[in-house]
A and B are shown apart, each in its own frame.
Chain A
Amino acid sequence: MAAIINAPQSGSAERAERLARAWRLWVTAGPGLVWIVLFLVLPSLVLLAIGFFSIGDYGNPHLPLTLTPIREVAGYSILGWSPANITTIARSLLQAISAAGLTILLAYPVVFFIIAQPAALRPLLLLFVILPSWTNQVVRTYAWMELLGPGSTLSHLAQTLGLLPSHLGLMPGILAMQIGLTYNYLPYMVVPLYAAAEKLDWSLVEAGRDLYASGSRLFWSAVFPQTIPGLLSGIILVAIPAFGDYVVPTLLGGGKSMMIGALIAAQFLQTPNWPYGAALTIFMLIFTGAGLWVFRVMSKRLGSAEGSML
């Protein structure tokens, strides 16, 4: 009987409790969330919208709305079709993917070298991989300008070996850009891979060894599959920022090997053409979003808990 009388009361109490929770959530998390919406989400939407405006006299957006900037990015202009933009986007994609590939090749030995050390030593060895990435990206990239520039020892070596014409340096160019990207983003591959390797279930390896599996067979069947979640995170953490990087292509790439980041920035900093720059940004975000989506689908299929931190 008492329970029946109490039931509606506890229902309204529950509602009041829920309202109080919602109010507290807004008082605490609200200011930060509003801040991010105001100063990032809203500006990004404005930027995307500008991609559908006509270009004004000073490169500023103007009415009427049009698809011209989008078509320009695809290569169509009053001069006909040109592959320049497609080449730039393709080059950026290729650079990002190969940077991810190179960091994978460098990261696996390092990660398993660290794992093979006594537990007390591992954090320090990992720290030594991460430390260089705490220096400013401009400084890190500048260091490679010093190493690869026309007068540098490495350039002389390449000239002596006949790999390079005598008046040129290894920088600027595609190779320098690739080295710069790989160097800058290597720790972003090592860290998630290490996290995956640290949790490795070695009993699978032992079972394989008991069955006389060869070393490479053990790696590919018992070790590698267990590191795939870390590998996926690493690819995302390397490829996405490398794709849109601004510092490395402008300092190490030079004019002939333009990447999408530098191309976009030029539309806002040099001869302004905001709608065209915004349209390029839309393409960049589409590729970024597609990459993240593939990552989500794949990690969900693997049942890993990445991306559910909050």
Chain B
Amino acid sequence: MSSRLAPPIRRALLLSSLPVYVLLYAPLVLIAIFSFAPAPGGQGASLHWYHALLQEPDVLAAFRRSLILALVSSMFGTSLGTLMGFGLSRFRTAKRSGFAAAIPSLIIYTPIIMPSLVFGIADLIFFNLLHKATGLFAAGLLTMGIAHVTFQAPYVALVVFARMSGLDPNLFEASHDLYANGWQSFFHLTVPVIRPAIIGGFLLAFTLSIDDFTISYFTAGPGSTTLPIYIYSAVARKGVAPDINALASLMIATVIGTGLLQYLFSRQKERRPLPRTGD
């Protein structure tokens, strides 16, 4: 395909896309450079702001909360999502069409399509009213977790569904012929076969949770500040600050490092043969 474009065009493409790559990374790199700013009164690059960060109990608490929220919500989101993706791919009768048959898909796409601001505010109000009525569901990590599961489950379902549709239906017939009941067949056949999708779905759910700001912000309570909410509040209050630069740099480095690792890992995996129909 590369030979299909004439050299002058390829040169023009290179020249016009290089600035875009620079644009994508320049802000992140600059934040990292600024994070090594000298201590007040000092000179030259320093790790002062990273040290300052480690002595800030609020930051550490927010970090811990982000991790707990992401881990717990991903476990629930992955379980619900896996069952949804599996069930819809296995047991939905293909013949029926029309509105009734489309309802599950409509429901699954709602969290994906809904603007996160509306999502967050709808839950803010809902939990507020629920709390007034029952005394339960006080705004905090619990309400944030419930909201996170709500947007994680559909994405996991899509990943699992995609994997399921690549499988040979005869696999399930075979297990049926061997007198496996529904749950036996699910845990001994389906789960091992779709394990990569479940793991991928879990990682996706975890990333979505860690990344989310807007929905968390509106469902959070007084004692449930997570890392993104901490940064947002600090920045909205006092603007650009060197300790925030350090915190942001750590987050950028973690995400980019994880992304590259995941890429290398997934490329190794691709060579493993997968059971598929037709090929």
Stretch at the interface among A1-9, A17-25, A70-78, A80-88: A17-25
Q: Decide if B27 touches A110 in the complex (CB within 8 Å).
A: no
Q: Which interface class (under 10, 10 to 19, 20 to 34, 35 or more) fits A?
A: 35 or more
Contacts of B67 in A (CB 8 A): none
Q: Decide if B263 touches A149 in the complex (CB within 8 Å).
A: no
Q: Which of A131, A145, A206, A241 contacts B240 (CB 8 A)?
A: A145
Could you tell me the distance between the alpha carbons of A268 and B118 in the complex, rounded to whole angstroms? 11
Could you tell me the distance between the alpha carbons of A106 and B21 in the complex, rounded to whole angstroms? 10
Instruction: Give A232 Cβ to nearest chain B Cβ, in Å.
Output: 15
Q: In chain A between 128 and 146, which residues have their CB closer than 8 angstroms to a CB of chain B?
A: 128-132, 134-140, 142-146
Secondary structure of the B side of the interface?
helix
Could you tell me the distance between the alpha carbons of A32 and B84 in the complex, rounded to whole angstroms? 6
Contacts of B116 in A (CB 8 A): 241, 244, 246
Closest-by-CB residue of B relative to A26 is: B87
A211 at the interface (CB under 8 A from B): no
Instruction: Give B35 Cβ to nearest chain A Cβ, in Å.
Output: 10
B199 at the interface (CB under 8 A from A): no
B175 at the interface (CB under 8 A from A): no
B188 at the interface (CB under 8 A from A): no
A181 at the interface (CB under 8 A from B): no
Instruction: Give B182 Cβ to nearest chain A Cβ, in Å.
Output: 6
Q: In chain A between 232 and 259, which residues have their CB closer than 8 angstroms to a CB of chain B?
A: 240-241, 243-247, 250-251
Contacts of B80 in A (CB 8 A): 31-32, 35
A47 at the interface (CB under 8 A from B): yes
Q: Decide if A36 touches B111 in the complex (CB within 8 Å).
A: yes
Asked, given contacts A41-B107, A127-B259, A139-B251, whether A281 binds B121 with beta carbons under 8 Å apart, the answer is yes
Stretch at the interface among B8-16, B43-51, B53-61, B271-279: B8-16
Q: Decide if B107 touches A37 in the complex (CB within 8 Å).
A: yes
Q: Decide if B27 touches A284 in the complex (CB within 8 Å).
A: no
B248 at the interface (CB under 8 A from A): yes
Instruction: Give B160 Cβ to nearest chain A Cβ, in Å.
Output: 11
Could you tell me the distance between the alpha carbons of A195 and B265 in the complex, rounded to whole angstroms? 22
Instruction: Give B194 Cβ to nearest chain A Cβ, in Å.
Output: 13
Q: Which of A25, A41, A241 contacts B91 (CB 8 A)?
A: A25
Q: Decide if B110 touches A36 in the complex (CB within 8 Å).
A: yes
Q: List B residues at the A interface (Cβ < 8 Å).
A: 1-2, 4-5, 9-10, 12-14, 16-17, 20-21, 23-28, 30-31, 34, 80-81, 83-84, 86-88, 90-93, 104-105, 107-111, 113-119, 121-126, 129, 146-147, 149-150, 153-154, 157-158, 161-162, 182, 207, 210-211, 213-214, 217-218, 227-228, 231-232, 235-236, 239-240, 244-245, 248, 251-252, 255-256, 258-260, 263, 267
